[in-house]
Amino acid sequence: MYVVGVVCRFMEASTSTYMKAAKGILRYLKGGVLTWSSKKQAIVTLSTCEAEYVAATLCTCQAIWLRRLLKEFNMNQDESTKIHIDNKSAQILAKNPVFHE
C-alpha cells in the first residue's frame, strides 16, 4: 500500500504518468478498492442505533468519494454500491424517509 500513498501525494498536480500509475494500482486491486479508518469521532451519540447510523453515513460518503475517484479514471461502476449495516435499528432509520425530515 506504500505505492498508493506515494501516488496520492502527486494526484493534486496529476499528469498522465501519475494517472497511468493510479489506474494500474486500481486495476491491481481488482475491484477490491476499500477504505479503512479508525479515529475518535467528533460527535457524541446517545444510542447504539445513532452510532451505527453515523458510521453508515460516513461509509456512504466514502463510497460516493470512491465512485467519483474511479469515474475520474474512466472506471465507472455499472452496478450500485452495496453498504452493509448490521444493526437493525440503524437499517430502519436509514430506510424510513420520515426520519429524514
Residues 48 and 86 in one domain: yes
Judge contact between 88 and 47, C-beta under 8 A. Answer: no
Quick: pLDDT tens for 43-89: 888 998 888 888 888 888 888 888 888 888 787 888 888 888 888 98
Residues 26 and 70 in one domain: no
Residues 69-97 as b/e (b if ≥16 CB within 10 A, e otherwise) read ebeeeeeeeeeeeeeebebeebbebbeee
Query: Total domain count for the chain?
Result: 2
pTM of the prediction?
0.60
Quick: pLDDT tens for 70-83: 888 787 888 888 88
Cα separation of 89 and 95, whole Å? 10
Residues 19 and 56 in one domain: no
Residues 27 and 61 in one domain: no
Residues 69 and 95 in one domain: yes
Residues 89 and 47 in one domain: yes
What share of residues in the chain are helix, strand, coil (percent, to 5)?
60, 0, 40
